[in-house]
Structure 1
Amino acid sequence: MSARVSLGALAGVVGFLAFVEFTSGVLQGYYTPMLTDIARHLSIPDADVNWLEGTQLMLSALVVPAFAKLGDMVGHKRMLLISTALTAAASAALPFTDSFPVFLAAWALQGFYVVWLPLEIALIWSRTRGREGRAVLTARAAGLLVAALEIGAISGALIGGALVDALPLQLVLAIPAVAVVACFFVVLFGVRESPETTGGRLDTVGLVLISLALLSFTGGLSLLRINGPTDLFSWGVTLIGVALVVPFALWELRHHDPLIDVRMFRSPALGPVFLTAGLFGVSVLGSQAPLSTFARTDPTVAGFGLGTTGFQTSLIIGIYLIAMIIGALLFPAISRLVTPRVTLIGAAVLVGVGFLLFVPFHSAYANVVMNMVVVGLGSGALVAALPAAAASAAPATQTGVATGLTNSVKTVGGAIASCAFGIALFQGSLGAEGGGQTAASFSGYLTVWIVCGVTALVAAVLLVFVPKQAFTDAAADVAEASAQV
């Protein structure tokens, strides 16, 4: 089977989906340079910015399993349209409130955009069925989609950073809603539906069980952040969430058409991919707000930080995202030279090394840029590779679920990290000490960098145990043949 796939075939598969990911990137990059300004607008300390990230990640973890399964059942385009409409409504609400609870609710609902990429990868995998070099085609398409995402994130970060220094915040917050509305019509008129759907009925019992588990678990983490790590009630709520996974798994094993086929977690190829996604979520999602607030912190007041403006912060983010684009586009090429598994291992190592470099090198603008380039190369490859790897290794009827699970587990990892990092940053902060400032603690930032680095290296070790030929066309053909028996 040839690994060469024509550019025309690739363009036919990707189509207008690149614009969807460009819009997703705008949402992900636009707000980051202005998080400190948003905190001042809402009259909250820097550490509480993590509430925005944490609640959005929690909602994302809840909606992805349902939307991924419904994508397999009723069509991936249909679920793209619904999630885009919900994201547009939430984005439009942000400029009209200075109430933290209302802003928090709208920000959380905006998190529906996280289902876009897994739905798109599942749609691409479905439409490439029967084509030569299917795994390579999906990997290349994933790389292009992630490149579009990061170009959108760069554009969003640069525009957001420039506008927040020049215009009223409410006007700046209104701009992303326009992009999401445009995205809705692009999906409506430009994206073709999946050629095959599985039909059936949604496993509502499984959805309720996993939702209760995730709500209890992430809610317990949030209570730990409020009440402190010694609060027994908060730990109890968190542990209840973990315990609720057991009845969910037992129900899914008995169900003829489960929401999530938990047997996939036992797969020697898929299991490590899901674990890697969770560990990767710690760094790619949990570290965003801390990195932004660290750069904006005034070193003459706090004794650390870079004291950057909104635009200077956006430049750091822009360089990081350019590195992610390069990593995403290099992933399929390097995978052909070695294997997808080895490429994933190398990407995880880059993320780990990049974050650990922050420990000795963080006092200068150039230090932070250098570290973020290393992190970005690895992160870009992982963002593209994980859903594509899951699609190639999953049963034919569970493609959307498998790609969605990479995002679900990633967002759970990010939500855990966001809550934990919020606690770490608040302990010993200037505001907590009554200094009248809102800067977080330096020891908290050290904790963020070390945890992000170590979890990425653990992910690299897990991927060593994946079968050598996993995520290739040969492995995908075996998986589909087994599913048809």
Structure 2
Amino acid sequence: MDAPQPTARSGGVVATLALAGITAAIMQTLVTPLLPELPRILHTSSADTAWVITVTLLVGGVCVPISGRLGDLLGKRRMLLACAVPLIAGSVVCALSSSVTPMIIGRGLQGMGMGMVPLGIALLRDVVPVEKLSSSIALVSASMGIGGGLGLPIAAAVAQYANWRVLFWGSAVLAAAVGVLIWFLIPDVPAGAKGQRFDVPGALGLAVGLVCLLLAISEGADWGWGSATTLGLFAVALVALVGWGWWETRTTDPLIDLRTTAAPRVLLTNAASIFVGFAMYASMLVMPQLLQFPEATGYGLGQSMLAAGLWMAPGGVMMMFVSPLGGKLTDARGPKFTLICGALVIAAGYGLSMALMGTAWGLMLVGIVINSGVGLAYGAMPALIMSSVPLSETAAANGFNTLMRSLGTSIGAAVIGVILAQMTTTMGGYSFASEDGFRTALLIGGGLALVSALIAAVIPAVRGGEQSGPGAAPAAPVKEAAVQG
């Protein structure tokens, strides 16, 4: 089918979709400053309050690819509005919660709205002029990192100086504002896969597989990696995902067309996304702890949660400035080149951390460099995906790519958590993650950034004519895009 005509008023569209991504990211980091206080606030144990984080990860992992496919079937604007509803409702439920169960329900509802980012990226292909497409994709894609970088200090400030419920009332207002902007500013374009069936068995199979996999990864350290529960979840995930893959290759209208995702450009981009997600999250786990650890340890910097968030905030701001530059780089050299550059910049940031981790200023500089690389990489990955799939699959393919990034962050959280838990030092009767543990975690983050660069380097060049942007759609799922790689 023919591509929809871009709208002339694309500035408001891009700004709205970027704000939607920032809002979704803020929802994820919203409770971080509250974690030490949640057992007291909700009158429960620390183990129970861990589900306040875990449930958002699980629900988001399941709903992102499903929202993407529904966007292709029903229209992306409609699904963006649908995603705004659980964000608002979940925030209200959390704001009214006085026990752990409604808080978990509210956080689960917030997870349902995480599909806003891949839907927004896919919509850009329909409504933004080709000359603005690369920079727009880069900005909206990086909005998740921008929201995470800015959301933490804001949430810490509110939690420190106001009632904790203000966090959730504020997020409800923000989500409602995004919904209003979507209603008035986002055009309604024809659904790319209108008339096709929604793959219910595929959705259920993917949901079971992802829930079991993500639950085992996120809780394995607490339950024990060799425990019957963890191993059982991994086994169920393997069976479910293999069965899901078998079904997806045989059904007429799959949830995710695995023949498309098996195309080398898409497959390798998704593989690189996992390692970029890991590399990004490693710094987000290590740096706040280094900033907040007591100075008596000899390597901690003794900062408060609010101060630590403020030291890290420039990294999020830098992503906002770097993203448009990444779009220009994509236009000039192609998204593959931008992805390689982004991964190498991330690795360079980790290299700097070996020398600069002893001061708050040094860690701020490290965060700026790493987040600059993330901004480049996050903008390039959707451009590679959208240049390699047909218009009828843009939202589903972007949803799957977002899932791969999330899988990388989940694996990163588990691996870094194990490293810091195993490499400890004792002081005053308390055990802390050791300086060697932090250095090892940072080295792994840098190493995996280099792995993602190597994977990106072998993404195959396109066949036939070449363009410099992601605007051209391939004629069939398995054909390569006419974009310089």
TM-score with structure 1 length normalisation?
0.85
Following the alignment from structure 2 to structure 1, what is the Cα–Cα distance between the partners of residues 351 and 108?
30
Counterpart of 1:456 in structure 2 is 449
1:298 aligned partner, one-letter code: P
Aligned residue for 2:85, secondary structure, equals helix
Following the alignment from structure 1 to structure 2, what is the Cα–Cα distance between the partners of residues 462 and 323?
25
8 Å Cα contact 2:134-2:470 kept in structure 1: no
Matched, 1:328 2:326: no
Counterpart of 1:68 in structure 2 is 68
1:77 aligned partner, one-letter code: R
Counterpart of 2:107 in structure 1 is 107
Counterpart of 1:221 in structure 2 is 217
Matched, 1:389 2:384: yes
Following the alignment from structure 1 to structure 2, what is the Cα–Cα distance between the partners of residues 425 and 93?
34
8 Å Cα contact 1:393-1:475 kept in structure 2: no
Say which structure, 1 or 2, has more relative contact order (CA 8 Å, 6+ apart). 1
Following the alignment from structure 1 to structure 2, what is the Cα–Cα distance between the partners of residues 342 and 194?
31
Aligned residue for 1:394, secondary structure, equals coil
- More displaced stretch, 333-342 vs 30-39: 30-39
1:452 aligned partner, one-letter code: G
Report the CA distance between 1:53 and its aligned residue.
Answer: 4.4
Matched, 1:211 2:199: no
Counterpart of 1:3 in structure 2 is none
TM-score with structure 2 length normalisation?
0.85
- Provide Cα deviations, 1:346-386, integer angstroms capped at 9, x if missing partner: 10111123234434432210121111111011111122222
What does 1:102-141 correspond to in 2, within 5 Å? 102-128=102-128, 134=130, 136-141=131-136
Counterpart of 1:445 in structure 2 is 438
Matched, 1:11 2:11: yes
Percent identity over paired residues: 24
Counterpart of 1:465 in structure 2 is 458
Structure 2 CA distance for partners of 1:148 and 1:227, relative to 1, 3 Å = closer
In structure 2, which of residues 263, 281, 287 is the aligned counterpart of residue 267 of structure 1? 263
Counterpart of 1:94 in structure 2 is 94
1:481 aligned partner, one-letter code: A
Counterpart of 1:299 in structure 2 is 295
- More displaced stretch, 436-445 vs 190-199: 436-445
Following the alignment from structure 1 to structure 2, what is the Cα–Cα distance between the partners of residues 154 and 417?
18
Counterpart of 1:281 in structure 2 is 277
Following the alignment from structure 1 to structure 2, what is the Cα–Cα distance between the partners of residues 194 and 239?
42
Alignment RMSD (CA, Å): 3.5
2:208 aligned partner, one-letter code: L
Report the CA distance between 1:154 and its aligned residue.
Answer: 5.7
Structure 2 CA distance for partners of 1:442 and 1:16, relative to 1, 3 Å = same
Following the alignment from structure 2 to structure 1, what is the Cα–Cα distance between the partners of residues 429 and 328?
52
Structure 2 CA distance for partners of 1:25 and 1:220, relative to 1, 3 Å = closer
Counterpart of 2:363 in structure 1 is 368
Following the alignment from structure 2 to structure 1, what is the Cα–Cα distance between the partners of residues 102 and 344?
40
Unaligned stretches of 5+ in structure 1? 1-5
Following the alignment from structure 1 to structure 2, what is the Cα–Cα distance between the partners of residues 145 and 226?
35
Report the CA distance between 1:118 and its aligned residue.
Answer: 0.9
8 Å Cα contact 2:134-2:328 kept in structure 1: no
8 Å Cα contact 1:60-1:411 kept in structure 2: no
Counterpart of 2:483 in structure 1 is none
Following the alignment from structure 1 to structure 2, what is the Cα–Cα distance between the partners of residues 296 and 117?
31
Following the alignment from structure 2 to structure 1, what is the Cα–Cα distance between the partners of residues 52 and 24?
17
8 Å Cα contact 1:225-1:419 kept in structure 2: yes
Report the CA distance between 1:183 and its aligned residue.
Answer: 1.5
- More displaced stretch, 24-33 vs 314-323: 24-33
- Provide Cα deviations, 1:225-271, integer angstroms capped at 9, x if missing partner: 22223335522421331343222111111111100111123212111
8 Å Cα contact 1:216-1:240 kept in structure 2: yes
Structure 2 CA distance for partners of 1:436 and 1:445, relative to 1, 3 Å = same
Following the alignment from structure 1 to structure 2, what is the Cα–Cα distance between the partners of residues 383 and 254?
32
Matched, 1:315 2:320: no
8 Å Cα contact 2:159-2:167 kept in structure 1: yes
Matched, 1:79 2:79: yes
Unaligned stretches of 5+ in structure 2? 1-5, 480-485
- Provide Cα deviations, 1:114-144, integer angstroms capped at 9, x if missing partner: 211210111121235xx6xx3x532121234
Report the CA distance between 1:211 and its aligned residue.
Answer: 1.2
Structure 2 CA distance for partners of 1:25 and 1:57, relative to 1, 3 Å = closer
